[in-house]
Amino acid sequence: MDALPNSTAARDVAYLLHPYTNARAHERDGPIVIAKGEGIHLWDDAGNKYIEAMSGLWSVGLGFSEKRLVEAAYKQLQILPYSHTFTHKAHEPSVELAEMLVKMTPDGLDRVHFTNSGSEANDTVVKMVWFYNNAIGRPEKKKFISRLNGYHGITIASGSLTGLPANHRGFDLPLPQMKHVTTPHHYRFAEEGETEEEFSTRLAEELEAKILEEGPETVAAFIGEPVIGAGGVLVPPAGYWPKVQAVCRKYDVLVVADEVINGFGRTGKMFACETYDIQPDVLVLSKQITSSYQPLAAIVFSDKIYQGIADGSEALGTFGHGFTTSGHPVATAVGVENIKIIQERDLVSNAAKVGDVMRGELAKYADHPLVGEVRGVGLIAACELVADKATKAKFDPVGKVGMSVFKAGHEHGVILRATGDSVCFCPPLITTEEQAVDIVARFGKALEDVRKALGR
């Protein structure tokens, strides 16, 4: 890389190991150093301006310059910068946010536990469910079923729930208690002539067969993102969630809805559980809960699970789990203000309206020679790139063309995300219709650059 010895870029390469990054490639190429943000835009330290069309990591719902969130953090830092929630300690921001979440999430979710990230939250869900089943006398009921291509985090437990090879290779994952079933992606995995409803029925039957194979007395929970995010913005086929829930209820398997990406308006409803009529036993939230101005995640769960855990804590003397910063007062204060802004400005409706425009613009690329499928819901979408439209053949190697579009996007002032060869869009909830059109136009220029380079 060409960088001055004492530049931020050079120091970055010298001292940091980056997540989700090829370390050797990073040594060669160096970073793009982001210097500031405003609205939906970022600037690097060379002065280049970008539309952040991925909301950072699916998360900066209110954009990069919301003063009310800054003021909420500053005010709380002055009053009470830190206090823990261990051993009967409480503080107003965490209580207020917990109450707010219980009142706004689907019926039947009555208690909240805070962590710092979605990964920690899903890891905690595993431990909570194990603790619960031990407490109520079902010590064998410990297995979790998730989906291939699903994403639930990167801790040992949550990384095992995740169904992406990159999160398993080299880490000795997944754990044996974690099982995976077929990805609910009709374009890729439906049989010839199979309708979405028929595909959903087959996947529900597969789930039932997996539960029976493992033994219903050993299967504790099914976890899924209502819309799979990091796996490529995979929208569930018609009838999928009602059919899957019916199987879970039949065998007393808990339903865990991972809305770390989906929650707080992303699908055009406050929660994707509303979009897809999901009645979860556990709801996992993070990312847009604070617009990522502070690290925070929440597990919202049923009173039935709470009562089992409470009885277990009584028998053992404690619920021996938690983090130093669980329910951090600054993070929860920002979360409260963030949700108030989303509600006051009706940003959920804005996401639905602007999402219609963005997906309509993307649909114009359905006939592009590199595009196999355009998909999405609300203000989240993806274009899957293919080597052959007729056969849906993937590029070899998978991911190279998607990464080329990602890099070309920077040249046209837009930050996208490539997951394999699916190019993803997830702009902030504050995005306007005009900005959505601009995002897609910039993507189109990047796509054309790559098409010409491939000689298509």
Assess contact for 392 and 187: CB atoms under 8 A: yes
pLDDT at 456: 87
Distance CA 155, CA 159 (A): 5
pLDDT recorded at residue 392: 97
Check: CB of residue 274 under 8 Å from CB of residue 237: no
Domains of the chain: 32-65+346-454 (3.90.1150.10), 69-344 (3.40.640.10)
Contacts of residue 238, Cβ cutoff 8 Å, sequence gap at least 6: 195, 196, 197, 200
Tell me what pLDDT residue 3 has: 60
Q: What is the pLDDT along the chain (456 residues), one digit of tens a residue?
A: 556 678 999 999 999 999 999 999 999 999 999 999 999 999 999 999 999 999 999 999 999 999 999 999 999 999 999 999 999 999 999 999 999 999 999 999 999 999 999 999 999 999 999 999 999 999 999 999 999 999 999 999 999 999 999 999 999 999 999 999 999 999 999 999 999 999 999 999 999 999 999 999 999 999 999 999 999 999 999 999 999 999 999 999 999 999 999 999 999 999 999 999 999 999 999 999 999 999 999 999 999 999 999 999 999 999 999 999 999 999 999 999 999 999 999 999 999 999 999 999 999 999 999 999 999 999 999 999 999 999 999 999 999 999 999 999 999 999 999 999 999 999 999 999 999 999 999 999 999 999 999 998
> Measured between alpha carbons, how far is 420 from 399 in angstroms, rounded to an integer?
4
Q: How many CB atoms lie within 10 A of CB 201?
A: 16
Kindly give the pairing relationship between strand 143-147 and strand 219-224. Answer: parallel
Q: What are the structure tokens assigned to 361, written together? A: 């613009």
Q: How far apart are CA 301 and CA 143, in angstroms?
A: 18
Look up residue 66 and give its DSSP letter: -
Query: What's the confidence (pLDDT) of residue 6?
Result: 82
Query: What percent helix, strand, coil does the chain show, rounded to 5?
Result: 45, 15, 40
Entry field: residues in the chain = 456
pTM of the model: 0.97
